[in-house]
Amino acid sequence: MTHPHPGQPASRPLLSPQGEGTGVRTPLFTFGGTAMSESDRSVESTLSNTSPTVTEGYAPFRGYRTWYRLIGEPAWDAERAPIMILHGGPGATHDYLENLAALAAQKRRVLLYDQLGNGNSDHPSNPALWTVELFVAELANLRQTLGLERVHILGQSWGGMLAMEYALTQPAGLLSLVIADSPASIPQWVAEANRLREELPPEVQATLLKHEADGTTSDPAYQEAMMVFYQRHVCRLDPMPAHVQRTFEHLANTPEVYMTMNGPSEFHVIGTLKTWNIVDRLPEITVPTLLLSGRYDEATPAIVETIHQRIPGAEWVIFEQSSHLPHVEEEQRFLATVNAFLDRVEGRVEQQ
């Protein structure tokens, strides 16, 4: 689906990090008797080396509870504002983003949480609950509960959609957005997903189409065909890091939010989000914004360009060896890129 172009705001150049490729297989190490990916090992190393305070708790929200983990010391906020990490799905969990706890190594507090209905948060079974408005309100409530007056937000996939929706409420004290692998229009997302599907082997395409037409998307054959797409455009690491695998397991065990809002797969969107579109409102986002995506991302360059053209001054970095999870596929470059952006934003803030 195409949208009218509201004008070409001044924008920073599109950047494309170069350097040695990361390959498509992440080495495994053994830690405490458990196989860990390099990414998982990095999380352990960062936390053990810096020994920050880790606080876990629950924030009351509309009669339910939102679970959170806050990493770092409150005193750090005087120098560097904390960053809230919003997971994707909708219906995923914080687990696959746990390696972003490494941002605390710069003495910046990092907040991870599970959105309602997911992970460690309460799991009310009520499909009518699962709306964009609910998750925007939950984000605002958690921020208020924890007293985060000045804050950065990093949202991945659906989390980036949620971050943009929150920014459109013009909240005080929001310093910046980092939008990773996200669309601003589900119709455009579906159109691009269909284009990517056409590049799959014919027998895979035929299996997907048959089960979607028959309403049998829970069939193992559909799930196997779906993984061909996922291995190309969601996570190219083989095997996937353990913390990413945990999120997929949670999704499989508690699918209500994902099935209600999205549907049975990343490219068969038949849930309540199927018409979601904020493209025309993007110029209302005025905080500094960094867009991140992978070269092979299901959030294709065309999808991210739609956002890049419309958020004034937005920066954009493409990770050449990554698909939908550059924060694990090219972890160190991702962390360095985010840290540099946050430091630049806070340098501008201090000069005002």
The answer for residues whose C-beta is within 8 angstroms of residue 81's C-beta and 6 or more apart is: 108, 150, 151, 152, 175, 346
Tokens of 330: 């090219």
Reading phi first (left if > 0) and then psi (alpha if -120 to 50, else beta), residue 72 is in: left
The reply to whether 297 belongs to the active site is yes
Active-site residue, selected from the candidate residues 297, 308, 323, 327: 297
Tokens of 152: 């950065």
Nearest C-alpha neighbor of 247 from the set 96, 101, 112: 96
**Cα–Cα distance measured from residue 67 to residue 312, given in angstroms and rounded to the nearest whole number:** 34
Active-site residue, selected from the candidate residues 157, 185, 293, 322: 157
The reply to whether 3 belongs to the active site is no
The reply to whether 157 belongs to the active site is yes
- Active-site positions? 157, 297, 324
